[in-house]
Amino acid sequence: MEQVPIGQRLKILIQALGLKVRTFAQALNVSETTVRNYLDRGSKPSSDFLESIIIHFEKTNPVFLLTGNGQPLLGIIDTGVAPFTTSTKNNSGNSIGVNHGKASQQQGTGPTSSEQVLLKEIEHLKAQLVMKDQVIASKDETIDLLKAAYGRPN
């Protein structure tokens, strides 16, 4: 079985995340040019870059990212049918096609995929802030108990 090049795997991942290259690059705090070099010019990403993808986009399947095996996102049930296929190159360069087994067109006013990713990130950060506040409150309580136990004033 022929291995899919890393640039193609990154394209598949970005598409699976529902992001544009610019948004993907901004989320990882790298330049869009850097990401495009990986996607289109065959540059090999560093291990730090791949690690930041796995950390920032928690649903990324690291096995897919590193080897091309499996699905790009964790939690997708593997039906044995490859959901992602590559199309041929056109005059404007590389392109990628996606076949999720059904054709659909989104309509309505709901958030886009990239907005959903950002909303999930915001919720995750809010949860981390709540946890931080709880840890600080617990620390302060511990300090107060220790001061009281050793008879030291506040």
pLDDT tens string 38-51? 999 989 999 999 99
- Give the Cα separation of 29 and 90 in Å (integer): 30
pLDDT (0 to 100) of residue 1: 52
Q: For 43-80, give the DSSP string.
A: PPPPHHHHHHHHHHSTTB-HHHHHH--S-SBTT----S
pTM of the model: 0.50
Distances (CA, A) of 79 to 2, 66, 71, 100, 122: 20, 21, 10, 11, 32
Q: Is the pLDDT of residue 33 over 90?
A: yes
Separation of CA 118 from chain center: 10
pLDDT (0 to 100) of residue 56: 92
| Closest residue by Cα to residue 45 from 2, 6, 85 | 6
How much of the chain exceeds pLDDT 90, in percent? 34
pLDDT (0 to 100) of residue 21: 93
- Give the Cα separation of 18 and 12 in Å (integer): 10
- Give the Cα separation of 88 and 93 in Å (integer): 9
pLDDT category at 147 given cuts 50, 70, 90 is confident
- Give the Cα separation of 25 and 31 in Å (integer): 6
Q: Is the pLDDT of residue 79 over 50?
A: no
- Lowest mean pLDDT: which of 15-29, 63-77, 125-139? 125-139
pLDDT tens string 83-134? 444 333 333 344 344 443 433 344 455 667 777 777 777 777 777 777 777 7
